[in-house]
Chains A and B, each alone.
Chain A
Amino acid sequence: MSTGTAEIEITSLSKVFGAGASGFRALSDIDLTIRQGEFFTLLGPSGCGKTTLLRVIAGFEQPTEGSLRINGKEVAGEGPNSRPVNTVFQNYALFPHMSVAQNIGFGLKMLGRARSEIDATVAEMLKLVQMEAMAERKPAEISGGQQQRVALARALAPRPRVLLLDEPLSALDLKLRKGMQTELKRLQGETGITFVFVTHDQEEALTMSDRIAVMSAGRILQTGSPHQIYHTPRERFVADFIGDTNFLQVEVAGVDGDGAQVKLPGGAVHRARLPQGMRPDTGARVTVVIRPEQAQLVAPGQGALAAQVEKSVFFGTDTHVHLRLPGDAPFILRRQNTGALAEPDPGSTVGLALAEGALQVVGD
């Protein structure tokens, strides 16, 4: 399937619960295009509106204003039963009085398909999620991980254009969750269906998605590939929500093209990338982001920054070194435990070398 064409187009969409002054604005001015066949993730903390947006796409909620097109067709105002979209619910919502096979066949039955076609698709789906042996069991008789796979099969059986997944992995334990992440990617590859995935787990979002939309307080703050979201966050919230981050207050020494020269604590001047459309004045104070793995410990007096070591925390694969910069700003540095690196002594002064392109200016 081509990845260029739009599957879902959302324009100026808002959702207000309640009326008048007491109304709650769950979604504000959402503009979003999800492409055909991509694995798209809505990421944000609880209450940010990601689930509401998913429900609006599914048809369980109607937008207060704005337009929602699926495969070029306006669907705002239509019910969930007339949209080519199926949902995997957070609690799976399997029909408890039906067998696994009946659950999977339900959508096709409602679409009025022939018995033979339903049976064939159910068999195919059972195979796809490796649940052939459980076809006649009731949902209560299978494990949580198996229920999850049945819920997936049930949503995939009618061959929807879009599959919506509402935090489907949150109820599974860590090991099952890792397994299901791989499974979901495989299913998406095999079916070519557009997946819209809702999660608050940034790691899950980074590893699984083709693109991510980061949401907060009913707005989309940034949309982009996991790489873009991680390395070039546009706003402080995005940088803070995704991965560990160091924030530094710096002074702008000059602007050039898509970057700026900034004066770091201690006086060294370093180049930082600017988010699109942001051109701070020389002398202005801005916030820059440095990821913990993009700084390296060097001998005192070398590198772009000088820092004092507070403590080291061992994590197995890597060690976090907690530092203080001039002006008392905290800084965490991560180094991989590839060799027998000596831990720096607490209280000692060290230099910090910053990787090329380590600095990113963010809006507040």
Chain B
Amino acid sequence: MVDATARDTGAPAKARPRRNYDVRRLPGFGAVAIFTFVMLYAPILILVVFSFNAAPSQAQWGGFSLQWYEAAFNNRQVREVSIRSLWLALVASGIATTVSTLAALGTTRVRRFPGQTMIYALINQPLMVPEIVTGVALLIFFAAIKVQTGYTGMGYLVAAHTAFCIPFAYLPIRARLETMDITLERAAADLYASPFQAFRHVTLPLLVPGIVAGFMLGFVISLDAVVITEFVKSAGQDTLPTYMLGQLRRNITPEMNAIATLFLALSLCIVTVFFLLTRKRG
């Protein structure tokens, strides 16, 4: 049962740790914090800065320029792989989110059944299995299918990406369902809603933040997947990350910095949109 007493007092008082036990007062806290942030963000900052470099160097600053962005936009190959990556991420995380929503409902909104823990483990398995193993396994498996059917389209990549997006989409949706008061669904049933109506009018609207979170997480994961994509893709199916990897082997130009920066901007946009979406719903 949810504790309803907290609602009576309006805004609950914010818990404030006692001053002396505040973690910020521990020796070295500031230094560790600063070191961590520098390690996390300095390389990214340098990458962004050099994407605006007029000189074709990663070390020497030659003045401000947008030429590498221009080059990237004018590069037909970059456009092609970017669109392929976005399309793939959209489709794969879309399918993964739908499947995960059903899986989350099936593992939280039912009486406990034998093998439930097993199913939970199986759904999350892609998080545990090394990507290289999945990559090799899919390569062999899909090769067999290719021989049998002759099909060489994007279906393989979609299937592979969907598979490893599922646990990422499943976890936030399941978490949301677990914290959602089951009495709300009971109340809907009590007020004459059929099981489908209760889902449509109560469970689903309340689940939206979890679904959006799951989708976005899946989207980002698919967008930067390298290992499995590398194994599964056929000729001419490069995604942005595998293309970049290929380019870096030959010649590192600030064009890569520009593409990476745009990539970063896109994910920042997604994070911001997600933050704004979830903030209002509390």
Contacts and interface: CB of A to CB of B under 8 A. Distances in A.
A95 B191 CA distance: 12
A63 interface: no
Interface in A205-248: none
B8 A144 contact: yes
Contacts of A95: 184, 187-188, 201-202
B1 A91 contact: yes
A97 B187 CA distance: 14
A121 B206 CA distance: 26
Interface in B1-23: 1-5, 7-8, 10
B4 A58 contact: no
Given A97-B281, A154-B191, 17 more contacts: A60-B189, A80-B189, A81-B191, A81-B192, A85-B190, A91-B1, A91-B183, A106-B191, A106-B201, A107-B191, A111-B192, A143-B7, A144-B8, A158-B191, A158-B192, A171-B8, A172-B8
A100 to B, nearest CB: 14
Contacts of A256: none
A91 B194 contact: no
A362 to B, nearest CB: 34
Nearest to A142: B7
Given A95-B202, A110-B197, A154-B191, A90 B1 contact: yes
Nearest to B180: A96
Given A91-B2, A106-B201, A147-B7, A96 B206 contact: yes
Nearest to A85: B190
A4 B181 CA distance: 39
Contacts of A111: 192
B187 A87 contact: yes
A93 B181 contact: yes
B25 to A, nearest CB: 35
Interface size class of A (residues with CB under 8 A): 20 to 34
Ranked 10 nearest A-B pairs via Cβ: A144-B8, A107-B191, A171-B4, A93-B187, A93-B183, A110-B192, A91-B4, A80-B189, A110-B193, A91-B2
Contacts of A91: 1-4, 181, 183
5 contacts: A60-B186, A91-B183, A93-B186, A143-B10, A171-B5
Interface in A94-128: 94-97, 106-107, 110-111
A121 B2 CA distance: 29
Interface of B: 1-5, 7-8, 10, 181, 183-184, 186-194, 197, 201-202, 205-206, 281-282
A86 B186 CA distance: 11
B193 A81 contact: yes
A360 B2 CA distance: 42
Contact of B187 (A59, A79, A89): A89
Nearest to B184: A93
A40 interface: no
A143 B8 CA distance: 6
B7 A144 contact: yes
A93 B186 CA distance: 9
A190 interface: no
B1 A106 contact: no
Contacts of A158: 191-192
Contacts of A59: 189-190
A58 B190 contact: yes
Nearest to B198: A81
Interface string A61-98: 00000000000000000011110011101111111110
A207 B184 CA distance: 30
B8 A173 contact: yes
Contact of A89 (B183, B193, B197): B183
A116 B64 CA distance: 65
B103 to A, nearest CB: 23
Contact of B188 (A82, A106, A171): A106
Contacts of B181: 91, 93
A140 interface: yes
B10 A80 contact: no
Central interface residue in B5, B184, B192, B197, by most chain A CB within 10 Å: B192
Contacts of B191: 81, 86, 106-107, 110, 154-155, 158
Contact of A80 (B1, B186, B197, B201): B186
A106 B197 CA distance: 11
B229 to A, nearest CB: 38
A286 B193 CA distance: 54
Contacts of A60: 186, 189-190
A61 to B, nearest CB: 11
B55 to A, nearest CB: 55
Nearest to B186: A60
Nearest to A87: B190
Given A95-B202, A144-B7, A172-B8, A79 B189 contact: yes
Nearest to B282: A140
Nearest to A147: B7
A85 B197 CA distance: 18
Contacts of A87: 186-187, 190
A144 B5 CA distance: 8
A110 B190 CA distance: 10
B160 to A, nearest CB: 36
Contacts of A81: 189-194
B208 to A, nearest CB: 9
Contacts of A144: 4-5, 7-8
A82 B3 CA distance: 29
A92 B184 contact: no
A155 B192 CA distance: 11
A82 B193 CA distance: 9
Contacts of B190: 58-60, 80-81, 85-87, 155
